[in-house]
Chains A and B, each alone.
Chain A
Amino acid sequence: MKRLTVPALLAVLFGVLLWVSMTGILNSYWQSVLMFMGVNIILATSLNIINGNMGEFSCGHAGFMAVGAYVSSLISVALFTKSSVFGDPLLSPDLAVWLFPLVLLAGSLAASVVGLLVAIPSFKTRGDYLAIITIAASYIVKSTIENIGAIGGARGFMGMSGVMNAMNDTAKLPWILIWVFLGTVFSVWFIRRFIYSTFGKGVDAICQDEIAAEIMSVNTDRVKLVAFMVSCGLAGLAGGLFAHILGYVNPGTFTILKSTEIMVMVYLGGMGSISGSVLAAIVMTLLIEYLRDAFGFINTFLHYISIIPDSYEVTQVWKWVLIPLLLVLLMQFRPEGIMGRRELADVFPGLRKFYKFKG
């Protein structure tokens, strides 16, 4: 029975989500918030492998996300819709529903191959130097995309909504919501099983004492390679989903600001804690959405009491003052994050009654 608790909960959640979005109880704004939440969960949990478990400092996660976003968008647009870049679809749009997971997989694989840009230097380098390499890698990706005119360059690339419409023609379901849900569950599950295996625990061993790990027969190069490729590949998956939610990608989205946002989630949640990352991704997504409204109120309020000049508007830009400030406060007062290194089951031992957590 214990084994089935979480799958059953997920199935119920999935059913409820489908129902509320199909009947329109959940409007499309909240649907998109939920989808970004899913994407953020994938990004945070995957970055957590590197920044949390391995103890390295990767600040280029958005770069790998960009690779996944572009590769899967290009493939899906080329295969399933009529577009100005690729012309007529190569395959029947009816196949879109069935082949979409493969498209996402292709994006993830591409991202994990680009992850080698970071994984291979990590054999010899670590700490600050590796952090610089990760930034460099993400800039390589970003400027490469910006300079390929054929796929839109800095203007971005669009047409993915056509793919979603093609799926809708096959069956009228909130497809992208379904894909995001499945992608999120897959990612968290994958990471959990990897990290809890003896193989994956090698990642923690490298974090705590790399020399001891190597001497105790852990092939540290291989473990690092796998950890980076899993992390980058899942970032690519998140990117692919992200691109298909928006129906539009632009290299400007995948800057260091985006990487920072993901990093804030990891540190907010607690390093090395999967449930912490999930929790933090949910909290951060809601916070960012809330701030969208809040700045409107603040703006009106500040104008009402005439503290700021009429010509100045308090806008979304202030989000990037508030979120880094949050990080400063977090590091000052609770550097270990919400969960620390613990998982949900360590904080609430009562949960163990319902689910077997370890192993």
Chain B
Amino acid sequence: MALLDVKEMTQYFGGLCAVSEFSVSLEQGQMVALIGPNGAGKTTVFNLVSGFYKPTRGEIIFKGQSIKGLKPHQVTSCGIARTFQNIRLWFEMTVLDNIRIAQHHALGYGLWDCFLRTPRYMQSERNIEDHAMDVLTRLGLRDVAHELPKNLPYGVQRLVEIARALSIKPALLMLDEPAAGLNSSDVEGLIKLVGDIHKDYGLAVWMIEHQMDVVMSLCSWIKVIDFGATIADGTPTAIQNNPDVIKAYLGDDTI
């Protein structure tokens, strides 16, 4: 059974068809890319899967259950974590707090536990802190745990965002343009990092990416969309030579 099964998902914004009959099937531990020219609807696909919008038509099945119509925080609790195209950290809170707040799905206590400091609360806070430090250590961010993200370089902010998504212990990690704005050495680091966490955590990774070296070196399967419709689907080599893809990116010679 596939981990994530999106079936003929369609989304209209008023009269505009942003995503049309989008289908994808992701297996456990697979690394898949979603590419396409600007405005093709890639981020909308991510927003639909993560629960920002409810698709007009179609079905989204995750681990055998329909997650269509769930709120974003519920989708995340099911095990889908994502990052954003433009970094969306909580910039005024320490890196450690950024990770801690992402553990809301695993709190297991309420307001009165906070006030009375019940054993349940103490245990939960300790677990959260330990887990957060583990994740930061794993990504080599331990030294910046008490820094504010706004004071960190852009590349490190990207890493913190990936760490935050990873701390949710997802089965599926969705990366929305992880390499955007990174210099070439940072990109190399990112490729290695994503490959490593993919292997270590055994999670499925689904990424939107414009930089082809990232996509080609990491992903085993690529899906190309344009104007909301799927135009190609296949292995990296097949996609590179696909005439429809070349046409979508470069245009053709009809005037």
Q: Which residues of A contact B (CB under 8 A)?
A: 189-190, 193-194, 197-202, 204-205, 208-209, 211-221, 226, 230, 341, 359
29 contacts between A and B (CB under 8 A): A189-B115, A193-B114, A194-B114, A194-B115, A198-B100, A198-B103, A198-B104, A198-B107, A199-B104, A199-B107, A201-B97, A202-B101, A205-B101, A208-B91, A209-B88, A211-B52, A211-B88, A215-B82, A215-B84, A215-B88, A216-B104, A216-B164, A217-B76, A217-B77, A217-B102, A219-B71, A219-B73, A220-B73, A230-B111
Could you tell me if B115 and A216 are in contact, using CB atoms closer than 8 angstroms?
Answer: no
Extra contacts, 4 of them, besides A198-B101, A199-B104 (Cβ < 8 A), are A204-B90, A212-B88, A213-B90, A221-B71
The size of the chain B interface, using a CB distance under 8 A, is: 37
Could you tell me if B115 and A215 are in contact, using CB atoms closer than 8 angstroms?
Answer: no
In-complex Cβ contact of A216 among B52, B71, B102, B124 (8 A): B102
Could you tell me if B92 and A341 are in contact, using CB atoms closer than 8 angstroms?
Answer: yes
Question: Measured between alpha carbons, how far is A255 from B105 in the docked complex, in Å?
Answer: 40
In-complex Cβ contact of A205 among B90, B105, B168 (8 A): B90
Closest to B132 in A: A198
Question: Measured between alpha carbons, how far is A197 from B125 in the docked complex, in Å?
Answer: 8
Q: Is B206 close to A, CB under 8 A?
A: no
In-complex Cβ contact of B100 among A201, A211, A215, A219 (8 A): A201
Closest to B117 in A: A193
In-complex Cβ contact of B90 among A200, A212, A341 (8 A): A212
Given the complex, which residues of B lie within 8 Å of A219, measured CB to CB? 71, 73, 104
Closest to A190 in B: B115
Could you tell me if B104 and A208 are in contact, using CB atoms closer than 8 angstroms?
Answer: no
> Closest CB-CB distance, B104 to chain A, in whole Å?
4
Could you tell me if B125 and A198 are in contact, using CB atoms closer than 8 angstroms?
Answer: yes
Could you tell me if B90 and A202 are in contact, using CB atoms closer than 8 angstroms?
Answer: no
Question: Measured between alpha carbons, how far is A198 from B91 in the docked complex, in Å?
Answer: 16
> Closest CB-CB distance, B148 to chain A, in whole Å?
11
Question: Measured between alpha carbons, how far is A212 from B73 in the docked complex, in Å?
Answer: 10
> Closest CB-CB distance, A276 to chain B, in whole Å?
16
> Closest CB-CB distance, A191 to chain B, in whole Å?
10
> Closest CB-CB distance, B192 to chain A, in whole Å?
25
Given the complex, which residues of A lie within 8 Å of B100, measured CB to CB? 198, 201
Given the complex, which residues of A lie within 8 Å of B117, measured CB to CB? 193
Q: Which 8 A-B pairs have the closest CB atoms?
A: A217-B105, A212-B88, A216-B102, A217-B76, A197-B114, A208-B90, A218-B104, A214-B72
